Copies of this chain bind each other. A is one copy, B any other.
Amino acid sequence: MTVRQLALPELVAHCVRLGIGGVGLWREPVQEYGLGAAAALVRDAGLTVTSLCRGGFFTADGREADNRAAVDEAAALGTDTLVLVSGGLPAGSRDLPAARARIADGIADLAPYAAERGVRLAIEPLHPMYAADRCAVSTLDQALDLAAPFPAAQVGVVVDTYHVWWDDRAPAAVARAGAEGRLHSFQLADWTTPLPAGVLTGRGQLGDGVIDLAAWCEQVAAAGHTGPVEVELFNEELWQRDGVEVLEETLDRFGEITPRSRTTIPG
């Protein structure tokens, strides 16, 4: 999604050229390209699919079938991680606890289905500015509490710096996620201001903002995370630029903040 202006074959080719070993995919471009074709393309190039975005939106009606389809797509792509964006308040509701209870029910419904297909669910807490309309799960601790009833191999969390950087309890929650074996996904994006209208497409290129990304990488590593580090930027300005240039820039920036672990960076 960081370089959504690149078609899937281009993205894969440039990842290979740049030594980027894995890529996190979103469902829409995969569906457009064709699930089987996308799976073959990535596999034949020797890339890992680090995660699939996304299932969830449990607070809307009738999402069961689509969420199971998301699990099937993850399995077909060979990734073990499906990212969940849980959904905000249902239309007309002001009841956050009820929304969170509904999210818990949705996860309980989906987790066994996913586990049978070798896919683990990764609950992503979104920044509190999305609590109303996208995700009523706003902190890592909330996400970990939602995951707690399930085996760690079935349900864990996403640590996305953009969403949790402000939280003074996040460092302890990262350690908790690691200790519980639930740190299923780690994503980087920087925080820049002013935020754009709608606040969806203002994630900063690594190093352009105020998040101490190097410290986050160290913290997540200290919690035992040895999996991929993803970069997920939704940024209107980056999308207007040449995709290959943005991919190369992102790789450079990634190297600056993680000098000792420049191994994988999904685009």
Contact = CB atoms under 8 A, between A and B. Distances in A.
A197 interface: yes
Tell me the number of copies of this protein. 2
Sort chain A's interface into a size bin. 20 to 34
Contact of A96 (B139, B142, B166): B166
A75 to B, nearest CB: 33
Contact of A95 (B100, B166, B195, B212): B212
Given A129-B128, A194-B198, A93 B210 contact: yes
Interface string A125-139: 001110111001011
Nearest to A192: B132
A191 interface: yes
A132 B191 CA distance: 8
Interface of A: 89, 93-97, 100, 127-129, 131-133, 136, 138-139, 142, 165-168, 191, 193-199, 209-212, 215
